[in-house]
Amino acid sequence: MQARGNGHRDVLENYYNKDTLHHIALMESEADTEVAITDENHNVIIASAKLDPEELKIINMKPESVPRNGAILEKRWKSEKFISTVTPYYVNKRTQGYLYMFRSTDQVQVLINELNNHFIAAALITVTLLVLTILFLSQALTNPLIRMKKATEKLSKGDFSVHLPEMGNDELGELSRSIKILAKDLQHVKEERKEFLASISHELRTPLTYVKGYADVAKRPNIDSKEREKYLEIIYEESEKLSDMIKDLFDLAKIDKNTFVINRTEVELCSYLHTIYDKVLPAFKEKGMDLQINCNEQVSVYIDPMRFEQVIFNLLDNAIKYSGPNTVTNISMNRMRDSIVIKICDQGNGIPEEDLPYIFERFYRVEKSRSRDSGGTGLGLSIVKELIEAQDGIIEVTSRLSEGTTFTIRMKEMKE
Ligand SMILES: Nc1ncnc2c1ncn2[C@@H]1O[C@H](COP(=O)(O)OP(=O)(O)O)[C@@H](O)[C@H]1O
Ligand SMILES: [Mg+2]
């Protein structure tokens, strides 16, 4: 309104005459606003419409020292009938009069009421949508979560038959998949433990049956001393076997419980392997076999010397057990691009292809009867594997029947 008043003022100042006054009044009579032009004493010269007493009241307040760009006289649109601005106009550089603009607040009230209604409607719609969204989201989120909670409760009670629906690729889906994998793993562990316990009791029972049976026979009074000696020898061997197996089992249990400590240090591999070589060579000679070693490079690895020795002993022990006389077993070491490769290669019986994937499993023996005779427990390689993995290494096997077997250990090189 003030800007409009200023616009009229410019016209008025440029062409101050009766026609212009009329023209402005006429223009305003077509608009929502009203105009009243007064002289310098606030006496109305012309108005666009008949002035309301309220409008006259505003004019009669006779505002003083109004700035050139006008001022707002009444802005209380809520309580007053009119809002109003005033702009002075000058002719010949002195105040000639004032130009009042009025606007009935009825229209403003209606407009504001309408706007208010719109706001209320918008607010209601927003709140409803918000409530619906929250309800939907909480359903979509809490339902699967409740199902997963129930599933984990079932798991903790030992029931591994978990059924969770397929969910998307979001975090919930991932959680659901993890729970399913966990259930599967737990199921596997449970079955493995059952199997393990079954095989332990079986493996322990067999030598004990021997011990008991031969002890029974040896106890008989009418037996001659030579025979008794033979039986006692068998009893002794079987007890030896039992104590070996219990020692192995104990090792495994310690690895399983993660209570066993690995003391890794920097070890110079070749001189270390040579020391082992010297220790085991007599055992090979005793069986008419030979052992060779190819290791000349200077290589450092980060291992637990005791545990690593256990690994090499176990592998060489197998080489002795499962090879015939006049065969050669070879220990070699090679530095590859990103690892150190130790190979133990024998010319023994070899392992059938179908057995290869299982030989690192507990109690797994290729020929149960044959290795019974040679006193195996079937635990050696499973211990080897656990020990190598505990030292961040990898062990693999390749074998050809009646040609020989090669065990390959890969370790990381230790570099300064
Ligand atoms: N060097 C080898 N040559 C042929 N067979 C082997 C060799 N090493 C292991 N095996 C086979 O793998 C099985 C598992 O070995 P291991 O775990 O050391 O048990 P164990 O030596 O007590 O029988 C052995 O029973 C044997 O059949
Ligand atoms: Mg063995």
Backbone angles phi, psi at 169, to 5 degrees: -95, 15
Going from the Cα of 221 to the center of ligand 2, the distance in angstroms, rounded, reads 39
Q: What is the mean pLDDT of residues 319-331?
A: 95
Residues 164 and 159: their CA atoms lie apart, in Å, by: 14
pLDDT value, residue 171? 87
pLDDT value, residue 368? 64
Mean pLDDT of the chain: 89
More confident residue, 253 or 267: 267
Q: Would you state the structure tokens that stand for residue 316, as one six-digit string?
A: 């060489």
Nearest to 147 by CA among 171, 168, 169, 172: 172
pLDDT at residue 279 tops 80: yes
The distance of Cα 339 from the centroid of its chain, to the nearest Å, equals: 30
Going from the Cα of 401 to the center of ligand 2, the distance in angstroms, rounded, reads 18
Single-letter residue type at 55: E
Single-letter residue type at 71: A
Q: What is the mean pLDDT of residues 351-355?
A: 93
Q: Which of 104-113, 231-240, 260-269 has the lowest mean pLDDT?
A: 104-113
Q: Tens of pLDDT along 203-218?
A: 788 889 889 999 999 9
Backbone angles phi, psi at 17, to 5 degrees: -160, 180
Most confident of 56-65, 88-97, 207-216, 343-352: 343-352
Q: What is the mean pLDDT of residues 263-273?
A: 95
Residue 245 makes CB contacts below 8 A (sequence gap 6+) with 203, 204, 207, 377, 379
Ligand 1 atom with the smallest distance to the CA of 377 is 22
Q: What is the mean pLDDT of residues 289-309?
A: 94
Single-letter residue type at 361: E
Ligand 1 binding pocket includes 162 (Cβ within 6 Å): no
Residues 269 and 308: their CA atoms lie apart, in Å, by: 11
Tell me which residue has its CA closest to atom 25 in ligand 1.
Answer: 365
Best probe residue, ligand 1, of 199, 310, 321, 362 (max atoms within 8 Å of C-beta): 321
Ligand 1 atom with the smallest distance to the CA of 381 is 17
Ligand 1 binding pocket includes 378 (Cβ within 6 Å): yes
pLDDT value, residue 379? 87
Reported as a pLDDT band with limits 50, 70 and 90, residue 35 is very high
Q: What is the mean pLDDT of residues 46-74?
A: 88
Ligand 1 binding pocket includes 365 (Cβ within 6 Å): yes
The answer to whether the predicted template modeling score (pTM) of the entire model surpasses 0.75 is no
Ligand 1 binding pocket includes 404 (Cβ within 6 Å): no
More confident residue, 92 or 314: 314
Residues 68 and 59: their CA atoms lie apart, in Å, by: 17
Compute the half-sphere exposure of residue 130: CA atoms within 13 Å on the CB side of its CA: 6
Residues 411 and 407: their CA atoms lie apart, in Å, by: 13
Q: Tens of pLDDT along 106-155?
A: 877 888 889 999 999 999 999 999 999 999 988 888 888 898 899 999 99
pLDDT value, residue 373? 57
pLDDT value, residue 369? 56
Tell me the CA distances in angstroms from 325 to 17, 25, 145, 184, one per residue in order. Answer: 137, 130, 65, 47
pLDDT value, residue 172? 86
pLDDT value, residue 358? 92
pLDDT at residue 371 tops 50: no
Give the relative orientation of helices 171-219 and 105-156 as an angle to the nearest 10 degrees: 10
Instruction: Concatenate the DSSP letters of all residues of 243-264 into one string.
Output: HHHHHHHHHHHHHHTT-S----
Reported as a pLDDT band with limits 50, 70 and 90, residue 193 is confident
pLDDT value, residue 393? 95
State the CB neighbour count (10 A cutoff) for residue 141.
11
Best probe residue, ligand 1, of 245, 370, 381 (max atoms within 8 Å of C-beta): 381
Tell me which residue has its CA closest to atom 21 in ligand 1.
Answer: 376
State the CB neighbour count (10 A cutoff) for residue 369.
7
Residues 236 and 262: their CA atoms lie apart, in Å, by: 33
Query: Counting beta carbons within 10 angstroms of the beta carbon of residue 273, is it exposed (0 to 12), middle (13 to 18) or buried (19 or more)?
Result: buried
Going from the Cα of 365 to the center of ligand 1, the distance in angstroms, rounded, reads 6
Best probe residue, ligand 1, of 248, 318, 320 (max atoms within 8 Å of C-beta): 318
Going from the Cα of 351 to the center of ligand 1, the distance in angstroms, rounded, reads 8
Ligand 1 binding pocket includes 346 (Cβ within 6 Å): yes
Tell me which residue has its CA closest to atom 22 in ligand 1.
Answer: 376
Q: What is the mean pLDDT of residues 175-199?
A: 88
More confident residue, 254 or 215: 215
Q: What is the mean pLDDT of residues 18-29?
A: 89
pLDDT value, residue 314? 93
Ligand 1 binding pocket includes 351 (Cβ within 6 Å): yes
Reported as a pLDDT band with limits 50, 70 and 90, residue 374 is low
Q: What own/partner pairs with CB < 8 Å and gap ≥ 24 does 147-155 have?
A: 148/175, 148/176, 148/179, 151/179, 151/183, 152/179, 155/179, 155/182, 155/183, 155/186
Q: What is the mean pLDDT of residues 82-98?
A: 90
Ligand 1 atom with the smallest distance to the CA of 383 is 17
